């Protein structure tokens, strides 16, 4: 008979605790002491972010990131063409998300009764600095998958509970207004008030069933233990997946990461660990060369990661540039339909440096009339299409990134599918402005070309109409050619 794995200290404490407390809850339907209560919705958001962070570190997602997202032409042109720089930016954003979760779990641990969970800060610092996990917090790979599914189920139940609570509040408000207005009660049929009361009672029962199945009745010890052990597993997964990048960062001798100075590791080396299974609880933890990167998760994080000085994000212009690019893409579909108001609005969105560059580029063209050359117009159209093909995705990702993290619109199930490296945040500002000015010059040429074509068509149409008016009435030909003068 094969000898089983020795039980960890945390498992022994949990087994003894389960043996001391009753399994069927407390008498009288009262909530458990130290229950999460109304904070269940906040905890649901944390569990959703933890589950998404684990999903983002899966082998398939990392392979897609390496082979598709980081190889987009716009990312290579404006952000960096070096794989290790791009992966370093991705790793920075992942550690920022991890730092947010660590801070939230640290605050939850102060409301726990379990001494092990109360010492979460010390245990996590020991894991990051020394690579130690004496209490066996880390889940094994398959067990972590089950826990992620459980957290996702809690999140869905929390969404349903939130929706049913809103419905119950509306029903109670309707019943209160109906009872408070006797005239309205008399106009209703006799059983209307009783029907409203029955709806409220039925809705209360639905809310009670969902509440008993949600995080509302769970204790702070339960939710903190689940989140704490998940974070330990996520740290192990980060070390395993980004082993090449962490080694490169640790081997840097200057203040800047080595990936920002010279190409040290390729994307294949950075993700070298993704072909191997995630280490379980009994496996040896990685060496402490990852301390420099993961130590940043011990500090509170506010706002976005710091962007290098010459980037669009450092100038806080990423959302603005994205709107300019998307406006150019919309006008490029039909340049001849741009009216003076839209032209002035687009020009007002440009920065002073872009206005200067655009003025210099358009000055010689304004003095000489635009030649009616269809071949040149086709070349300009093809050049604009090629530029928008790699620039527009960055603008769309920028808008999507900000929409996903909008505090006012953020739901109980936040969905983060775009990294900052896929947006204009880390893009070189000078190169981005040059690309926008190039698009505007092409748009101006197409607009003037389309206007000249329309003017010639209108002139031809007017000459034919004038010529046909001198014809004899009996021999007049009404079948004039249909010209598009729009």
What 3 state SS string does 399-440 have?
A: HHHHHHCCCCCCCCCCCCCCCHHHCCCCCEHHHHHHHHHHHH
164/160 Cα distance (integer angstroms)? 6
Write the DSSP string, 171-213: HHHHHHHHHH-HHHHHHS-TTHHHHHHHHHHHHHHHHHHHHHT
Output the pLDDT for position 466: 64
pLDDT in tens, 84-138: 889 889 988 898 889 999 999 999 999 999 999 999 999 998 888 888 888 889 9
Residue of 394 and 307 predicted with greater confidence: 394
Residue of 23 and 466 predicted with greater confidence: 466
User: Has residue 256 got a pLDDT over 90?
Assistant: no
User: pTM of the prediction?
Assistant: 0.76
Q: What value does the mean pLDDT take over residues 392-399?
A: 95
User: Has residue 424 got a pLDDT over 90?
Assistant: yes
Output the pLDDT for position 458: 72
Phi then psi dihedrals of residue 132, to 5 deg = -105, 140
Contact call for residues 83 and 248 (beta carbons, < 8 A): no
User: Has residue 400 got a pLDDT over 80?
Assistant: yes
Range scoring the smallest mean pLDDT among 11-15, 136-140, 152-156, 218-222: 11-15
Range scoring the smallest mean pLDDT among 92-101, 152-161, 409-418, 438-447: 409-418
User: To 10 degrees, what angle do helices 340-348 and 318-332 make?
Assistant: 150
Residue of 410 and 401 predicted with greater confidence: 401
Q: Which two tokens stand for residue 471?
A: 């014809």
User: Has residue 481 got a pLDDT over 60?
Assistant: no
Helix (H, G, I), strand (E, B), or coil: what is residue 219? strand
Output the pLDDT for position 303: 67
235/237 Cα distance (integer angstroms)? 5
Mean pLDDT of the chain: 78
Output the pLDDT for position 321: 96
pLDDT in tens, 207-242: 999 999 999 999 999 999 999 999 999 998 998 888
Position 259 confidence tier, pLDDT thresholds 50, 70, 90: very low
User: Has residue 427 got a pLDDT over 80?
Assistant: yes
Q: What value does the mean pLDDT take over residues 249-254?
A: 50
54/138 Cα distance (integer angstroms)? 13
Range scoring the smallest mean pLDDT among 31-35, 201-205, 387-391: 31-35
Position 340 confidence tier, pLDDT thresholds 50, 70, 90: confident
Residue of 308 and 191 predicted with greater confidence: 308
Q: What value does the mean pLDDT take over residues 452-471?
A: 68
Whole-angstrom distance between the N-terminal and C-terminal Cα of the chain?
87
Identify which of 18-22, 157-161, 364-368, 479-483 has the greatest average pLDDT: 157-161
Position 276 confidence tier, pLDDT thresholds 50, 70, 90: very low
User: Has residue 301 got a pLDDT over 70?
Assistant: no
Element (H, E) at 108: helix 83-109
Q: What value does the mean pLDDT take over residues 407-428?
A: 78
Output the pLDDT for position 241: 85
Output the pLDDT for position 274: 40
- What is the percentage of the chain residues whose pLDDT exceeds 90? 43
Phi then psi dihedrals of residue 428, to 5 deg = -65, 125
Helix (H, G, I), strand (E, B), or coil: what is residue 35? strand
């Amino acid at each position: 008979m094969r000898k089983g794995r020795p039980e960890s200290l945390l498992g022994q404490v949990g087994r003894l605790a389960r043996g001391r407390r009753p399994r069927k809850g407390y008498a009288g339907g009262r909530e458990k002491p130290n229950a999460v209560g109304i904070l269940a919705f906040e905890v649901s958001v944390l569990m959703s972010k933890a589950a998404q962070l684990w999903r983002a570190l899966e082998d398939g997602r990392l392979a897609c990131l390496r082979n598709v997202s980081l190889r987009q032409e716009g990312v290579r042109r404006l952000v960096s063409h070096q794989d290790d720089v791009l992966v370093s930016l991705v790793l920075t954003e992942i550690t920022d998300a991890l730092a947010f979760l660590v801070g939230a779990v640290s605050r939850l641990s102060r409301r726990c009764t379990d001494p092990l969970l109360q010492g979460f800060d010390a245990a996590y610092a020991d894991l990051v600095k020394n690579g130690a996990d004496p209490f066996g917090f880390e889940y094994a790979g398959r067990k972590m998958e089950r826990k992620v599914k459980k957290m996702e189920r809690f999140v869905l139940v929390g969404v349903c509970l939130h929706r049913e609570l809103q419905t119950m509040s509306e029903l109670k408000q309707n019943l209160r207004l109906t009872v408070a207005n006797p005239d309205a009660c008399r106009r209703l049929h006799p059983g209307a008030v009783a029907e409203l009361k029955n709806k409220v009672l039925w809705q209360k029962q639905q809310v009670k069933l969902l509440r008993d199945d949600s995080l509302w009745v769970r204790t702070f010890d339960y939710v903190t233990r689940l989140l704490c052990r998940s974070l330990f597993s996520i740290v192990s997964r980060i070390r395993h997946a980004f082993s090449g990048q962490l080694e490169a960062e640790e081997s840097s001798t200057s203040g800047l990461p080595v990936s920002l100075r010279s190409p040290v590791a390729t994307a294949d080396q950075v993700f070298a660990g993704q072909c191997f299974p995630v280490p379980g609880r009994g496996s040896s933890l990685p060496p402490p060369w990852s301390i420099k990167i993961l130590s940043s998760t011990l500090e509170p994080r506010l706002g976005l990661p710091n962007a290098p000085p010459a980037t669009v994000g450092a100038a806080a212009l990423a959302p603005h540039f994205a709107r300019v690019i998307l406006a150019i893409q919309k006008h490029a579909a039909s340049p001849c339909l741009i009216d003076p108001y839209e032209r002035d609005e687009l020009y007002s969105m440009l920065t002073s440096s872009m206005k200067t560059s655009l003025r210099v580029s358009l000055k010689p063209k304004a003095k000489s009339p635009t030649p009616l050359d269809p071949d040149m117009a086709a070349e300009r159209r093809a050049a604009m299409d090629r530029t928008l093909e790699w620039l527009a995705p960055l603008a769309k990702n920028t808008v999507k990134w900000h929409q996903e993290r909008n505090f006012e619109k953020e739901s109980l199930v936040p969905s983060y599918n775009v990294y900052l490296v896929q947006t204009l945040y880390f893009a070189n500002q000078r190169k981005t402005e040059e690309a926008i000015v190039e698009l505007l010059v092409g748009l101006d040429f197409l607009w003037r070309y389309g206007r000249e074509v329309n003017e010639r068509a209108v002139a031809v149409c007017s000459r034919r109409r004038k010529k046909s008016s001198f014809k004899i009435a009996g021999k007049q030909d009404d079948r004039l050619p249909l010209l598009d003068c729009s």
